[in-house]
Amino acid sequence: MDEYNRFVDWEKMDVTAQTQDPKELTSTEFQELKQLARQGYWAKNHSLRAKVYHKLINNIPCRTVTPDANVYRDIVAKITGKRNSGSLPLPEFVDNSLVPTYCLNAEGIGAVRKIILCIANQFPDISFCPALPSVTALLLHYSKDEAECFEKVCRILACNDPSKRLIDQTFLAFESSCMTFGDLVNKYCQAAHKLMVAVSEDVLEVYSDWQRWLFGELPMIYIARVFDVFLVEGYKVLYRVALALLKFFHKVRAGQPMESDSIQQDIRSFVRDIAQSVPPERLLEKAFAIRLFSRKEIQLLQMANEKALQQKGITVKQKSYSFSMFFIVFLRQNVHLAVHAENFKSEIVSVKEMRDIWSWIPERFALCQPLLLFTTLEHGCSLSRFYSHSEGHEPTLLLIKTTVKEVCGAYLSTDWSERRRGGNKLSFFGTGECFVFRLQPEVERYEWVIIKHPELAMSVSKPENHATPASSTLSSSGVPSDPSDRLSPFLSARHFNLPSKTASMFMAGSSECIIIGGGDGQALYLDADLNHGRTSHCNTFNNQPLCSESFQISVLEVWGFMD
C-alpha cells in the first residue's frame, strides 16, 4: 500500500477489512467488470482499487483539452499561494457542502481544498457541483499525489459521452435529478413516499437531499463500494443506492417516533450511522434488487424535468443555490397554496384529498396548479363535451364520485386526442405513468400489474376488436419525437415486452365509452352518457377493488395542470 497511502490516516481505517492478498484485474469486458464491481472484488485491497480506478477513469471519453497532472503542478502555487490549505475557502459552486474527511490525514484534508480550487480555475462553466468535495476526497485515497487526483477528477468532469452522465455540474441538472429521484421514489418506494408526505411540508425538499446522503453522510467504506460500481455502470447506480437507503430507513424506523423535528435530519442521521443496521453488501444487494428502468428511460425523464424547470425560469446560469432552492420550494408549495379553500373548489374532493393526489403525480407536474376543465354539474353528461374540454391538455386528472359516496379517479398521462389514431376503432394509448386511485371509503393508489411486475406482461390476453394501438410516445414513422417534448418520456408499455396488439394499454376512448386500464383486467369503464360505470380488478390490482363493480356516477370532474 506504500504507493497510495500518503494521504491516508490508517489509524482511522478499518485495517481488518483490508487484505494483502495479491490480486490483478485483467478483465476489460463490461459485463465481467460489472459483476466484479458489484461483488466487491477490489474492495478489500487498497492498492488494487487504486489501480482499477486509474484504469476505469483513464477509459472515460473526455474533451480534447482536459486538464491533467502537469496543469495542476503549473497552477497550484499561483492559486493557493502560501495560505494554510486547511483554511482555503471553497468555491461558490460547492455551496458549503459537506467536505468528508474519509479517514484522510491532515495533509489529505488540506489537499482536497487545493484540488477543488484548481478545478474551479480550470472549469469556469461549473455553476453547481455539491458532490465534488466527496468525490475528490475519495479519489485522493487512491492517488499517489495531488496532481494525479486532480487529473482523475478532471476526467470525470470532462466526460463528453452524451450517453454517460457522471456528476451534476449545474443547478438545473442537480435539481432535475432531485425531481427525477422523487419520481422514482413515488414509483418504487411508495410506503416511504407516503411517510415523507405525512411528516414533511414539501417532499421535494426532502428528496433534494438524496445526493447528500451518498456524497456526504454515507461512511467511507460504503461510498467506496458505491463508487466502485458507479465508475463501471454510471449515474443510475446512484439512484439505486439512494432508493435502497430510503427503503431501509422506512423499514428500520417504521412505527418509531421521529428523533428530531425534521425528517431530513432523521434520514441524514440514519445514513451516517447505517453501519449499525445495514452492512455494505446488504445495501448494494437491496439496490440492485430494485427493478429499475433503463438508463435511457431515466435520461429521458431527467430531460423532461429539466425542461419543466427551464419553463419555470430555472436556467443553467443560476448560481445561487439558496435563492434557487427557495424558488423551487416556493413553486411547489405555491401549488399547495393554490389547493386551498379560498381558490380551490371541487364537488368531489377536499383540499387535503387533492394534496394527497398531488403528492402522487410526477414531480415536473407538481410544479403546476390544478385547473378545472370539465364537470358534469356544469357541462352535462356528454362524452363529446368531455373530450372537447379535455383535449389539448396533457396530463389530466379524472375524479369520480358515485351515488353511494365512493370516490375514485385516475391520473392520465396523455392527451385524449390520441384516441383518434385508431380511426373509428377503439385503440389504447398512454404510458405507464398513468395510475388509478381511490379516496373513499379509504385512500389507496393502485399500480398497474404490468408496470410493477413486467414478467407478467406476456400473459396479458389479447382484447377483441381492438386495433393495433399506436404508442403515444412514438411519431407516425415509429421514430421517437424530440424527447424533450414528450410528456411521459419513459414507461411506455413497449418497454415491457407486451405483444404488439396489447401495447400501451393504459387508456382508451371512443364515441361509445372510456376505458382506463386494459388487457383482461380492465380497471375502469365509463359509458357514453357518463352516468354509469364499471370496474374490474381480476388481474389489474393486488388490493381491494377501485370501487363497486357497477356504479352510478353522481359527479365527474376533469382537472388540468396550469403553469
Chunked into runs of 10 residues, the chain (563 residues) has average pLDDT values of 78 69 71 91 89 94 93 94 83 78 91 95 92 95 95 96 87 90 88 85 85 94 96 94 96 74 90 95 95 79 85 57 46 46 81 83 81 94 94 93 92 90 77 83 68 37 35 32 36 37 66 71 77 68 65 94 80
Residues 410, 362, 473: CA angle, nearest 5 degrees: 80
Name which of 299, 329, 342 is nearest 490 in CA terms. Answer: 299
Cell numbers linked to 262: 425534521
Q: Exposed (0-12), middle (13-18) or buried (19+): which is 89, by Cβ within 10 Å?
A: exposed
Name which of 96, 100, 67, 120 is nearest 224 in CA terms. Answer: 100
Q: What pLDDT score was predicted for residue 230?
A: 96
148 near 106, Cβ under 8 Å?
A: no
394 near 433, Cβ under 8 Å?
A: no
Q: What pLDDT score was predicted for residue 456?
A: 36
Pairing of strands 513-516, 524-527: antiparallel
220 near 274, Cβ under 8 Å?
A: no
The b-or-e profile of 432-468 (16+ CB within 10 A means b, else e) is bbbbbbbbbeeeebbbbbbbbebeebeebeebeebee
Cell numbers linked to 207: 428528496
Q: What pLDDT score was predicted for residue 509?
A: 87
Dist CA 40 CA 107 (whole Å): 28
Cell numbers linked to 501: 396488439
33 Cβ contact list (under 8 Å, min separation 6): 27, 232
DSSP reduced 3-state for 512: coil
State the CB neighbour count (10 A cutoff) for residue 159. Answer: 18
Q: What pLDDT score was predicted for residue 449?
A: 42
Q: What pLDDT score was predicted for residue 16?
A: 60
Q: Exposed (0-12), middle (13-18) or buried (19+): which is 77, by Cβ within 10 Å?
A: exposed
pTM of this prediction exceeds 0.85: no
Q: What pLDDT score was predicted for residue 355?
A: 79
Q: What is the DSSP annotation of 10-50?
A: TTTS-GGG------------HHHHHHHHHHTTTTT-HHHHH
How many alpha carbons fall within 13 Å on the CB side of residue 29? Answer: 4
517 near 523, Cβ under 8 Å?
A: yes
Q: What pLDDT score was predicted for residue 505?
A: 61
How many alpha carbons fall within 13 Å on the CB side of residue 310? Answer: 12
How many alpha carbons fall within 13 Å on the CB side of residue 181? Answer: 30
Q: Which amino acid appears at position 234 of this protein?
A: G
398 near 526, Cβ under 8 Å?
A: no
